[in-house]
Structure 1
Amino acid sequence: MVSATTEGVKVTVDTTYQADFSNPQQHHYVFTYKVTIENHSSTTVKLLKRYWEIHDAGDDLKIVQGEGVVGRQPILESGQHHEYVSGCNLKSGLGKMKGTYLMEILKTGKLIEVQIPEFQLIATIFDN
């Protein structure tokens, strides 16, 4: 689990390798990640956009960007949090992700770029 705080907005990411949905023989590795966004600032913020860099040891860098997260643009008042789960597929069992959320401070209209901390995607394969 990794965390980063930008202007009072804390982002925590926890990852899980999904062995049951992966097929290493076919170079298909599935990962999920749970993101928790906590507003520790004194003002209300709205998540507008996301930007991700996905590095796969077996592939080129992928950039993923768009509106909100999993179809939502959550508004977080001071002290509130938002959680969601998403996932990605890699061609290798080793990668990393990082990114940013573009957020608006609703009271002033100021836009801030909130850092999503870099996290590792590592397939844990156990032989029985």
Structure 2
Amino acid sequence: MRMIFPHDATTRIGTGGITVRVAPRYLPDQSDPRAPRYVWSYHVRIENHALEAVQLRARSWLITDSDGNVEAIDGPGVIGQQPFIEPGGAFDYVSGCPLSTPSGMMQGHYRMTAESGSFDIAIPAFALRLPRD
């Protein structure tokens, strides 16, 4: 696995032959604690270990800040795409999340389709935290 997924910064979950890995990263250059605005990017890798191709059709996120405020985000695909992932293949993307608090959590699921039908794949919960000095 590439260095973007070091063991201590990666969250991983597998469902039905599909593995989802997430690696968040704090972006100090895009953040302004006085605003307050804290921004993270997160790199997602979806691996297809199943026997049939799948298509990522939709996403559903729950984003919780450290004050307990929850934002639900639902929409088609990811980053403007609804990728097909062949058996043995993978799809990577990077997106971002701003918060008004210095920490939070993200979790959710992807809606996938295959010849055998539609199903949800869990996105593992992962923490959005400021790096330690």
If the TM-score is normalised by the length of the shorter chain, which range does it land in?
over 0.9
Q: Which residue of structure 2 aligns with residue 36 of structure 1?
A: 45
Identity %: 36
User: Which amino acid letter does the alignment assign opposite residue 39 of structure 1?
Assistant: N
Q: Deviation per CA, 1:66-100, whole angstroms, max 9, x where unpaired?
A: 00000000001100000000001001111000000
Gapped runs of 5+ residues in structure 2? 1-9
Given the alignment of the two structures, is residue 112 of structure 1 paired with residue 129 of structure 2, yes or no? no
Where does the alignment leave 5 or more consecutive residues of structure 1 unmatched?
none
Aligned partner of residue 48 in structure 1, secondary structure: strand
SS at 2:34 equivalent: helix
1:25 Cα shift?
1.4
After superposition, what is the alpha-carbon deviation per residue over 1:2-60, rounded to whole angstroms, capped at 9, x for unaligned?
Answer: 10011000000001000111111111000000000000001110100000000011361
SS in 2 for 1:25: coil
Aligned residue in 1 for 2:101: 92
- Other-structure match for 1:64: 73
Indicate the RMSD between aligned Cα atoms, in angstroms.
1.1
Using the alignment, how far apart are the partners of 1:2 and 1:96 within structure 2? 12
Q: Is the 8 A contact 1:32 1:85 kept in 2?
A: yes
Q: Which amino acid is 1:5 matched to?
A: G
User: In terms of mean alpha carbon deviation, does 90-99 or 56-65 score higher?
Assistant: 56-65
| Aligned with residue 77 of structure 1, among 80, 86, 107 | 86
2:69 partner letter: D
More off after superposition, 56-65 vs 36-45:
56-65
For 1:72, the aligned partner's letter is Q
Q: How many residues get paired?
A: 124
Runs of 4+ in 1 over 6 A off after TM superposition: none
Does the Cα contact within 8 Å between 1:56 and 1:96 map onto a contact in 2?
yes
Matched AA of 1:79: G
